[in-house]
Amino acid sequence: MPSLIDLRRRIRAVKNTEKITKAMKTVSASKLRRAQERIMGARPFAREMQRVLYGLLTGIDVVAHPLLAPPDPGSSASALLIVITADKGLCGGFNSALLRRATAYVQDADNEVALALVGRKGRDFFRRRKMDVRYEEVNIFNDLQYIHAQAVAEMAIQQFTGNQVSSVHLLYNEFKSVIQQNVVVEQLLPIPRLTPSEDGTEMLAEYLFEPSSDQIFQTLLPQHVEVQIFRALLESAAAEHAARMTAMDAATRNAGEMIDSLTLHMNKVRQATITRELIEVVSGAQAL
């Protein structure tokens, strides 16, 4: 049976842990509010840009652009998977779910898969497994800016247009709510050509382009890639804060329950010690 001193030390340690988890929950809640505002502002623009782009592509028979070129069936080039994880832990199953999905994607792929890793957790995980890593980026979520998405997009476009990879996919956690985040895999390159029925948009009137359609798509398609990557980064940031807030809330509740249990056990031990001492005193008095 542990002594009173051991129980007091353990209660004090759990109380200190409870203070830390409570503070982390508060910080994550504050960051989540800002992250939600950013993602709610970015989603409409990204989705509308995607809708307009698909609408333009369905209204044009041929658009000669390397970002639209389908992969060569006989090509031996690897596929590129951009994995967006967190830089820190203590966020429940946020990172583990992503890493399991990424591992399964690599194992189930028909061709070789190269990786572009955004986030320290993903980088450390795959570095130990000696995977084909083409790109690494860490410590961007403390001050996430559009320039970070531009850097990732530039790398993906260079890999794809240089025929070093046959396709590019995004894997990230999509923010649904505070208690729900979904692991999503999206095709980024080649930019898919969807029919109006697949995209959910109606076919609009015939377009007149000024300047030419080639010049417009030369600017619009790379920007579309940047916007979709930036949206995925914002989704991941919001999902991370939500997962950490939920995990720290559960840890705080568990710490409180453990403190109550240890306090009850300590009181029982102390009561037993006092009772034993009283019995010894009474027994000694009777013996005299």
Residue from 56, 113, 129 nearest 79 by CA: 113
Report the CATH number at residue 157: 3.40.1380.10
Considering the entire predicted model, what is its pTM?
A: 0.86
CA angle 46, 47, 48 (to 5 degrees): 95
Q: How many domains would you assign to the chain?
A: 2
Residues 264 and 178 in one domain: no
Residues 50 and 131 in one domain: yes
Give the tens place of pLDDT for each residue, 221-254.
Answer: 899 999 999 999 999 999 999 999 999 999 999 9
Q: Which of 24, 77, 91, 114 is catalytic?
A: 91
Report the CATH number at residue 282: 1.10.287.80
Is residue 26 domain-resident? no
Residues 200 and 281 in one domain: no
pLDDT score recorded for residue 47: 85
Is 87 among the catalytic positions?
no
The whole-angstrom distance between residue 146's C-alpha and the CA centroid of its chain comes to: 17
Residues 259 and 128 in one domain: no
pLDDT score recorded for residue 62: 53
Residue ranges making up the domain that contains 130: 34-244
Percent of the chain with pLDDT over 90: 52
Is residue 27 domain-resident? no
Residues 147 and 275 in one domain: no
Residues 197 and 279 in one domain: no
Q: How far apart are CA 26 and CA 32, in angstroms?
A: 10
Give the tens place of pLDDT for each residue, 77-114.
Answer: 889 999 999 999 899 899 999 999 999 999 988 888 99
Note the helical H segments in 60-145: 94-108, 120-127
